[in-house]
Amino acid sequence: MVSLKRALLYFTALFFAVAPVVTKAAEDTIGEKSQADEINEYIAHHLEDDYYFSLFADSEAGKVYGFPLPVILIDGGLKVFSSGEFDHGKQVVEKDGQYYKLYHGKIYKTGADGVLDYDDKHHPTNAKPLDFSITKNVVGLMLAALIMFVAFTSLAKTYKKGSGNLPKGAGRFLEPLVLYVRDEMAIPNIGHRYREFMPYLLSVFFLIWILNLLGMTPLGFNVTGNITVTFCLAILTFLITNIKANKDYWKHIFWMPGVPVPFKFVLAPIEVLGMFTKPFSLMLRLFANITAGHSVVMGLIAIVYLFQNQLTVPGSIGVSLALSLILFFLELLVAFLQAFIFTMLSSLFIGMAVEEHPHH
């Protein structure tokens, strides 16, 4: 299964490398933006966060259907307004004498004319206000938190009634997963102190899993494909691991027992570096896998539109759709697998920190 996904990843990477070459002649002839560029822009827009919750777009009419989200800025005071005032970056918004422009998913301070200054690499150099806006990713996090609250409240009420009561509704589906996290991750890796860390492990497992599933819906969420979100989750694991660590853990890092003294000085910097590479691997693994999965699914679907004139062989479109469907079901597995891996590694790191070593 992993080999299949890796092959599809390589295939899609090759496709995007070759696609601009295939469409270059048509682009030069008609002088319009190529379909490959349009598809790449659409995929990039899907993967990025946004101040506007877009449901679908009508390219012929040039309209985007959805609803704006609230913009919350701190810049010489609190400024709250609707992102709809930006008109998708076409308008400059004035608030209390300050002017703001939305450009490539970021808000910059400008003059009344909305002109941006650029550096040598064409990156805006304008100042940015302190931004606490409710973006699409924040909405996704709120929705996932609401789903978890409703589902686990129902399950908790069942447990309060006694051990003989069977869960009802969503609780019947959640209880096996709760037991799976406890019996297959927490207890084997942490040991008798597993109860102390179960709330965090359950929270991070179901949060990642639900967010991954929401990302496969037409709503277009890509929360776990945002590296800032995976960074925060990895930091939580890092803090819990090191705050709860016992003295044996720190002793094994700074003064490794059982090795010659000269090697202790060599191993200490390596162990300290390992403290930071562990959460870094958690952050990067989740971000890269989810981002790659979204890109591959949309890339395979885009083949139908990019090569709609070339796909004259009967069944060619069906093959592309079949591959996309297969990869969609593979992404269902990946949605669970990434939540499992993050939670498993988190429990493993915590278990290494709280493990009680025998002293001879």
- Select from 48, 6, 5 the least CA-distant residue to 227: 48
Higher pLDDT, 291 or 241: 241
Mean pLDDT of 192-198: 92
Predicted local distance difference test score (pLDDT) of residue 59: 62
Q: Is the pLDDT of residue 334 over 80?
A: yes
pLDDT tens per residue across span 7-58: 444 444 444 443 443 334 333 433 455 656 666 666 666 667 888 887 766 6
The overall average pLDDT reported for the chain is 80
How far apart CA 278 and CA 349 sit, in angstroms, is 8
Residues 6+ apart with CB under 8 A from 319: none
Predicted local distance difference test score (pLDDT) of residue 203: 94
Which contacts of 322-329 are long-range, i.e. CB under 8 A and separated by 24 or more positions?
323/8, 324/297, 324/300, 327/5, 327/8, 327/293, 327/296, 327/297, 327/300, 328/216, 328/297
How much of the chain, in percent, has pLDDT values that exceed 90?
33
How far apart CA 256 and CA 244 sit, in angstroms, is 19
Higher pLDDT, 267 or 164: 267
CA distances from 186 to 30, 282, 340 (A): 61, 17, 12
How far apart CA 57 and CA 60 sit, in angstroms, is 9
Predicted local distance difference test score (pLDDT) of residue 20: 40
Predicted local distance difference test score (pLDDT) of residue 151: 86
H or E stretch including 113? none
Predicted local distance difference test score (pLDDT) of residue 307: 62
pLDDT tens per residue across span 102-152: 998 889 999 888 889 998 888 899 999 999 999 988 999 999 999 999 888
How far apart CA 184 and CA 177 sit, in angstroms, is 10
Higher pLDDT, 307 or 206: 206
pLDDT tens per residue across span 231-252: 999 999 999 999 999 888 888 8
CA distances from 202 to 174, 178, 195, 267, 345 (A): 11, 7, 11, 34, 13
Q: Is the pLDDT of residue 98 over 80?
A: yes
Mean pLDDT of 212-228: 83
Mean pLDDT of 286-291: 85
Q: Tokens representing 112?
A: 């009344």
Predicted local distance difference test score (pLDDT) of residue 218: 73
* Model pTM score: 0.78
Predicted local distance difference test score (pLDDT) of residue 35: 59
